[in-house]
Amino acid sequence: KGDPLSILDAATGSGDQPRAVVQFAREHGWPVHITGLDINMKMIRFAREECAGFPEIQFVQGNALNLPFRDRSFDVVINNLSLHHFAENDAIQMMREFSRLSRLGFIINDLHRSRVAHAAIWILTRLLTRNRLTRYDAPVSVYNAFTPAEMEAMAVEAGLKHFKVHRHFPYRIALVEEKPEGGPL
């Protein structure tokens, strides 16, 4: 307890991650303040509507490649399922920005590119949905995602020193930077 944990959710989309974090924090009595950032103003408006009952969350428009905040403005930066939308050089720049902004570290959670994941998502989208956008976008997203080795190489290129790449189900990878001066995430 004490000061709220400050979190930036970069590329927040509809704000589903901030809502989930706030609900978890409320259940445990932990104070938290989350800033959701997205480049798309329509998504910001939608996220504000979706999060109307969450005063712990605010939304701002901005670019994840050039974040409009001072160094170490947040305890933690999170990014969920958007890295695959960026080219490698831009992904590296995002890692640098997330590290610059965070006091404790950051977490990037994204898809794990593999042949098995691509085949599985192709089959599942044909079995479970008739939505043409989903049938197209889901396999393309897996195809555009990074492998754990690529994620690690990008973290090194970004100049990160204290990071780990984790694989988790289903076909996900997470890059976690834990700054030694900040303690464990």
Q: Is the overall model pTM greater than 0.75, yes or no?
A: yes
Q: Where are the alpha helices (DSSP H) in the chain?
A: 16-28, 41-50, 88-101, 115-128, 132-144, 148-157
Asked whether the beta carbons of 77 and 106 are under 8 A apart, the reply is: yes
Tens digits of residue pLDDT in 34-86: 999 999 999 999 999 999 999 999 999 999 999 999 999 999 999 999 999 99
- Long-range CB pairs of 138-142, under 8 A, 24+ apart, other chains included: 141/84, 141/85, 141/111, 142/84, 142/111, 142/113, 142/114, 142/117, 142/118, 142/171
Tell me if 42 sits within 8 A of 50, measured CB to CB: no
Between 159 and 124, the higher pLDDT residue: 159
Interval 95-99 mean pLDDT: 97
Q: Which CATH number applies to 5-112+146-178?
A: 3.40.50.150
pLDDT over threshold 60, residue 1: no
Cis peptide, bond prior to residue 170, ω within 30 of zero: yes
- Confidence at residue 49, expressed as pLDDT on a 0 to 100 scale: 97
Q: Above pLDDT 90, what percent of the chain?
A: 72
- Indicate the length of the chain as a whole number: 185
Q: Is the pLDDT of residue 111 over 80?
A: yes
Burial of 23 (0-12, 13-18, 19+ CB in 10 A): exposed
φ and ψ at 170, to 5 degrees?
Answer: -95, 120
Percentage of residues in the chain having pLDDT higher than 70: 95
Average pLDDT over residues 124-143: 77
121: Cβ contacts below 8 Å, ≥ 6 apart: 138, 139, 142, 171
pLDDT at 92 over 60: yes
Residue 56 near residue 33 (C-beta atoms within 8 A): yes
Residue ranges of domains in the chain: 5-112+146-178
